[in-house]
Each structure stands twice: as structure tokens, then as C-alpha cells.
Amino acid sequence: MPYLATALLSALGQDAAPAVQERGTIILYRPESIMGAAVACPIRYKGDVLVELGRGKYAEWSVPKGKYTLENKVSSVDVTVEAGEKRYVRCSIKMGFMAGRASLQLVDQADFDKHGKDFEKKDVAAIDPAP
């Protein structure tokens, strides 16, 4: 049926409106924890810092459906997002030899809900989310 509408508009000399891009959301968060209190958790996409999370912070990134690789200095995680779907990535600080290190994990909504009631929202950088 959409093809019929496009054909009719084209026949009338009008352009059809572009299709709405299907999007999903990647929720990035770092729970409150005394472990690694002074360590930040920068999360990068294609080498650019998307967001830097402190304790008890989260951010939402609206993206076209597709596969995304998020990373920091020591960890990476692949996230596949479908239209209308929310995916959750947790940054945990693990103790290292001389300093803490940030680890990224793909988790479920229940894990976010367990920690997220008191989170403070941060904005993500204006990075083109094309997969």
C-alpha cells in the first residue's frame, strides 16, 4: 500500500515523505559502588567518547537499528539493537594491579532496574550513530 501512495504522489508531481528511520536505544550506566570511586568510565564509539560515566550515572543513546561496538581502554562489547528495542550496557570498575579498570557488559533490563532508581542522567556526545 505505501508503494501506491508513493506512485500517486509522484504522478501528481509531489515527492513522498521519506520513511521514518527505525530506531532503538542503548542505555549505558554505571552503578553506585565504593569500588573505583575515583575512576571514570569513558565509553567510546568508533574512537570518539560517547559519554563518561561516574558512579550512579546513566545515559540513553538513540540509534538506528544495527550492530554497535562500544569500547574503553580495556574492554569492548558488541550491541545489536532492533527498532523499538532497549539494550543495556553496564560499566563496572574492577580492581587492577595499580588502579581500577572499567569493564563493559551487556546486561538485561532487570539488572538496570535493580540499580537504576537513583541514577542521574547524563547527555551523550553528538556522535553519528551510523553502524
DSSP string of the chain, one letter each residue: -HHHHHHHHHHTT-PPPPPPPPEEEEEEEE---STTTT--EEEEETTEEEEEE-TTEEEEEEEESEEEEEE-SS-EEEEEE-TT-EEEEEEEEEE-SSSEEEEEEEE-HHHHHHHHTTPEEEPPP------
What range defines the domain where residue 44 resides?
Answer: 22-122
CATH code of the domain containing 33: 2.60.40
21 pLDDT above the threshold of 50 = yes
Mean pLDDT for the chain overall: 79
Q: Is residue 57 part of a domain?
A: yes
In a domain, 43, yes or no: yes
Position 38 scores a pLDDT of: 56
On whether residue 4 sits in a domain, the answer given is no
Q: Measuring CA to CA, which residue among 85, 113, 93, 112 is closest to residue 29?
A: 112
User: In this structure, is residue 61 part of a structural domain?
Assistant: yes
**Tally of structural domains, the chain:** 1
Can you give the pLDDT at residue 6?
46
Higher pLDDT, 39 or 70: 70
